[in-house]
Amino acid sequence: MSQAELAKRLSLPQSVISDWERGELQSWRDYVALLSQQLDRPSSYFAADGETTSSVNTSSVREIPVVGEVQGGAFRMAYEFPPDERPVVAVASAAYPAYAGVQLRALKVVGPSVNELYPDGSYVIVVSAADTDVRSGDKVVVLLRRGGLCEATIKEVRVEDGGRVALWPRSTHPDHQTPIYLDDADQDSPEIAYVVIGSHKAEERPPPPIRIPPRR
């Protein structure tokens, strides 16, 4: 497997994988569980000479599958990745303690229509709306079913004066400034399917690396 492919599967910059291979970074220890899975090797394979597997952290990360793509703020045909082609987002095991026993999913955000919150190419971590409550201010994945097809988008929930529930995009783009409503009789009824509980975006480090002068 190439460095680029492994970096993609781990949601890391390729430069990190390169640094691991050169021995310049030791953070691979936090990814042993994922490396073991992606490279089809036992965790002991990654232990250095004289090092036991127990000294390598195999439980510090939680692997969240990226199940598909979603358009932020504007409805787009829902796209789901095949199960055997799903990358993962790795988060600390201690992250999201309120959802320790709940299935987490990740979705890749495409387009500019929710760029105030989630830039194009970032990932949102979601839980099913059936596993939590929905609150004003929540960011949610909304589904719209039309003629057997399913479209999806991300909106922000806002309860207006009088109790009407509006779903707003959060975008700097002028084409994405209008809300939809859960009770609008003039449109197909949208459904809140998931609640966003976090987000992730790998930082792409620009090449080439610079040489840091030694301390005097």
pTM for this prediction: 0.65
Domain extent for 165: 62-200
What is d(CA 97, CA 154) in angstroms, rounded to the nearest whole number? 23
pLDDT band, residue 26 (cuts 50/70/90): low
Asked if residue 49 and residue 67 are part of one domain, the reply reads no
Q: Is 139 part of any domain?
A: yes
Q: Is 76 part of any domain?
A: yes
Q: Is 176 part of any domain?
A: yes
Asked if residue 141 and residue 74 are part of one domain, the reply reads yes
Find the range with the poorest average confidence among 20-24, 80-84, 185-189: 185-189
Asked if residue 54 and residue 26 are part of one domain, the reply reads yes
Asked if residue 177 and residue 155 are part of one domain, the reply reads yes
Q: Is 206 part of any domain?
A: no
Q: Is 30 part of any domain?
A: yes
Does the pLDDT of residue 209 top 80, yes or no? no
Asked if residue 75 and residue 43 are part of one domain, the reply reads no
Asked if residue 48 and residue 15 are part of one domain, the reply reads yes
Tens of pLDDT, residue by residue over 154-173, are 999 999 888 889 898 888 88
**Residue 57 contacts by C-beta under 8 Å, 6 or more apart in sequence?**
29, 30, 32
Asked if residue 92 and residue 35 are part of one domain, the reply reads no
Asked if residue 47 and residue 152 are part of one domain, the reply reads no
Q: Is 212 part of any domain?
A: no
Q: How many other CB atoms are there within 10 angstroms of residue 194's CB atom?
A: 24
Domain count, the chain: 2
Does the pLDDT of residue 18 top 90, yes or no? no
Q: If residue 156 lies in a helix (H) or strand (E), which one and from where to where?
A: strand 149-159
Asked if residue 142 and residue 37 are part of one domain, the reply reads no
Asked if residue 157 and residue 78 are part of one domain, the reply reads yes
Can you give the CATH number for the domain in which 88 is found? 2.10.109.10
Tens of pLDDT, residue by residue over 62-118, are 788 888 888 765 556 567 888 888 888 888 777 888 887 888 999 999 887 788 888
Q: Is 83 part of any domain?
A: yes
Percent of the chain with pLDDT over 70: 78
**Residue 193 contacts by C-beta under 8 Å, 6 or more apart in sequence?**
128, 129, 140, 141, 142, 143, 152
Asked if residue 173 and residue 71 are part of one domain, the reply reads yes
